[in-house]
Amino acid sequence: MCCAGCHAVASAIVDGGLGDYYRHRDAMPESPREAIPTALRELGLFDHPDVQKNFVRPVGEHEKEAALILEGITCSACVWLNEQHLARQPGVTAVDINYATRRARVRWDEQRIKLSQILEAIAAIGYRAHPYDATRSELLAQKERRAALWRLFVAGFGMMQVMMYAIPVYLADDGTMTSDVERLMRWASLALTVPVIFYSAAPFFAMPGAT
């Protein structure tokens, strides 16, 4: 574990009997240190009717449904984890998460659980939940696309440059290249590979809730 936060997230997942998440995921979620609110007491604001009126609707005498947007969803295993974890919360009656839009619909019995407790349960496994807003959803999607394009650009540029240095070394295998020049080519290739590994490939190495 990289920190106590990661340990807490891993404990929440494993203690809830959701260890299969680590078998099914094909990408890493965001760092839970960013996902867990700095002050969980702020989540209590979402229990007020005036705050809920824009994204919560009644569906029964004591049942409500909230439209949320989840941040940190990176693969289908993340969707599975959130649905399973929320479904096990006492009072939660239905959960449906759309992987493509990151939109979640959660129903609960307000006599048994509060919305703030649902949001806290989501934060406990390393994700962020916000009231669904079409504008916010689009901004989040744009941010993710922009980051992905930059990573692709850096990876492509680095690949082409490394190839330009690797081909002369390969073609000069008959000894026509001095050792100093060959060493310079290899060091240049290494320098160009570093940003590809630590930036473009960062999502593969990002710490999840636990290793």
40-94: pLDDT as tens digits: 456 778 888 888 888 899 998 889 999 998 888 877 888 888 999 999 999 999 9
Return the pLDDT at 47. Answer: 87
Provide φ and ψ at 116, rounded to 5°.
Answer: -60, -35
Tens of pLDDT along 141-170?
778 788 889 999 999 999 999 998 888 888
Q: Which residues of 134-170 are buried (b: 16+ CB within 10 A; e: fewer)?
A: eeeeeebeeeeeeeeeebeebbeebeebbeebeeeee
Q: Do 200 and 151 touch, CB atoms closer than 8 A? A: yes
Domain boundaries, the chain: 4-132, 139-205
CA distance 185 to 169: 7
Distance CA 165, CA 148 (A): 26
Fold of 4-132: Alpha-Beta Plaits (3.30.70)
3-state helix, strand, coil in the chain (%, to 5): 55, 15, 30
Mean predicted lDDT score pLDDT of the chain: 79
- More confident site: 192 or 6: 192
Amino acid identity of residue 32, one-letter, is P
Q: From residue 209, give the alpha-carbon distance in Å to each of 30, 68, 198.
A: 8, 21, 20
